[in-house]
Structure 1
Amino acid sequence: AQGLGVATKMPYVMTYNSRVAAHEMAEIGAALGLETKARTAAEMAAATIEEIRRLFAAIGITPTLADLGLPADKLDWTAEQALGIDRLIKNNPRAFDLGTMRRLVQAAYDGDLAACVM
């Protein structure tokens, strides 16, 4: 279940990171075969996130933590646990604090990508 949780949160974390990693995400999008002409890095990053969501849906990865079955009363605990996974946190292009992680977990629970633009 932990791997599914990480996969479910990926588009939300990518959205959070897109402000500082748009070029890297654009490269991922190009590798996925997305059209790159006349698109800015930010546009490519957004398209890449949407393509990741589409691919995940195609293989049955749920789009939200609620759909995954996470109880609403476990959101704070989930944020605390996620913040404790050093290998993921230390390699992230943007820093996290507990407040940010809580907002990301809530967004992933609600299916609200726009809430990840911070």
Structure 2
Amino acid sequence: TMLPYVMKYNRAAAAAEMTEIGLALGLDGRDRSTGEMADATIDEIGRLFGAIGITPTLAKLGLPADKLDWTAEQALGIDRLIKNNPRPFDLAAMRGLIQAAYDGDLATDVM
């Protein structure tokens, strides 16, 4: 559920790596910038998740809206993920990511 949203959050820091993933997935990189390829890769990951039945949002997974702040706080405590992330997280950024994943909003400016 979270991968497309995490990829969107990290796009600015890892667009080249996302482009490589997109090419490995068979996306056409001709006439596309690195940023465009990163976006296409995020879209393709979302499409693949849908095709295999992965729930697209935290809301559809059943996360109550009143647990979003708690979820963001807990996520910041997962050191192996936070320390290895290409872009730093603080509580506001994590809260934005969790909200986007709850709403199913990959276009949000919060990320």
Q: Sort the TM-score into its range (normalised by shorter chain).
A: over 0.9
In the TM superposition, what whole-angstrom CA distance separates every residue of 1:25-66 from its partner, at most 9, and x where no partner exists? 000000111111111110000000000001100111111100
Residue number in structure 2 paired with 1:4: none
* Residue of structure 1 in register with 2:93 after alignment: 100
Higher helix share: 1
Aligned residue type for 1:65: L
Conserved? CA contact 1:15–1:116, under 8 Å = no
Amino acid at match of 1:11: P
- Report what 1:35 is aligned to: 28
Deviation at 1:117, TM superposition (A): 5.6
Shift of 1:78: 0.7
TM alignment of 1:34-73, pairs within 5 A: 34-73=27-66
What TM-score, normalized by structure 1, do the two folds share?
A: 0.90
Letter in 1 for 2:68: L
Cα deviation for residue 116 of structure 1 reads 5.2
Provide the TM-score with structure 2 as the length reference: 0.95
User: Which residue of structure 1 lines up, in the alignment, with residue 72 of structure 2?
Assistant: 79
Paired residues, what number?
Answer: 111
The amino acid that maps onto 1:9 is: M
SS in 2 for 1:50: helix
Q: Which runs of 5+ in 1 are unaligned?
A: 1-7
Runs of 4+ in 1 over 6 A off after TM superposition: none
